[in-house]
Structure 1
Amino acid sequence: MKIVQQSHAGTLESGDVLIRIQPIDSPEIEIELESVVGKQFGDAIHRLVHDILNKLNIYGVRVIVEDKGALDCIIRARVQAALIRATGTQLMSVNWSAL
């Protein structure tokens, strides 16, 4: 999947996460993390986001994560929603079994 536009998903409410997706010109994955629980779970959040991007074969992207203490399942859902919006794909065309 290729990132074609900026997108976002989530909120800045307590227990949620705001995910912003931006296309970049290089074939890299850039993840910026700001989290209220970053000292305890920052590495795990970073790995989770990177894992989702790798499984969906997405490169050339900047992901900005503003976490307010969200659970892994919430982070995963917000990243997936933002990616669907950023790629302009339909829900049915995503390989959900890869995740």
Structure 2
Amino acid sequence: MKIIKDAIAGTLESSDIQVKVSPHKGLEIVIHSDVMHQFGDQITSTVKETLKKLGLTDGLIIVEDKGALDCAIKARVEVAVLRGADVNELNWSQLK
């Protein structure tokens, strides 16, 4: 799967996360977080795991975290990628 257009999901409210995606050759992930020093490894792992399950191979992923839980991180990444890849149907079982 590749990002073919700019897309966004989430907000910059406390305890949420905003994920922006753009077309890009190769996969690049940029993460900014208020709690990076405490939870940066977990945030990075959750983002990468979600992208892997989606099969994303190309795209620029910019993450602005404001203390979101893992479930919110996964949901925002999924929505942003699906919007950016212009996917209308998905096999939800692949995201377990």
Match of 1:4 in 2: 4
Q: Which amino acid aligns with 2:92?
A: W
Question: Which sections of structure 2, spanning at least 5 residues, go unmatched?
Answer: none
Does residue 97 in structure 1 map to residue 82 in structure 2? Answer: no
Secondary structure of 1:30 counterpart: strand
Correspondence for 1:30: 28
Query: 1:15 corresponds to which residue?
Result: 15
Structure 2 residue 55 is the aligned partner of structure 1 residue 70: no
Count of matched residue pairs: 95
Runs of 4+ in structure 1 deviating by more than 3 angstroms, as ranges, are: none
- Cα distance, 1:95 vs structure 2: 2.2
Cα separation, 2, equivalents of 1:75 and 1:15? 10
For 1:30-49, what aligned pairs fall within 5 Å after superposition? 30-49=28-47
CA deviations on 1:42-77 (whole Å, 9 max, x unpaired) are 111111111111111111111111000011111111
Sequence identity percentage = 46
Partner of 1:59: 57
Unpaired segments of 5 or more residues in structure 1?
none
Deviation at 1:94, TM superposition (A): 1.3
| Secondary structure of the corresponding residue to residue 69 of structure 1 | coil
For 1:30 and 1:88, locate their aligned partners in 2 and report how far apart those are by CA, in whole Å. 19
Q: Tell me how far apart the structure 2 counterparts of residues 56 and 81 of structure 1 sit (CA, whole Å).
A: 11
Note if contact 1:56-1:95 (Cα within 8 Å) is conserved in structure 2: no
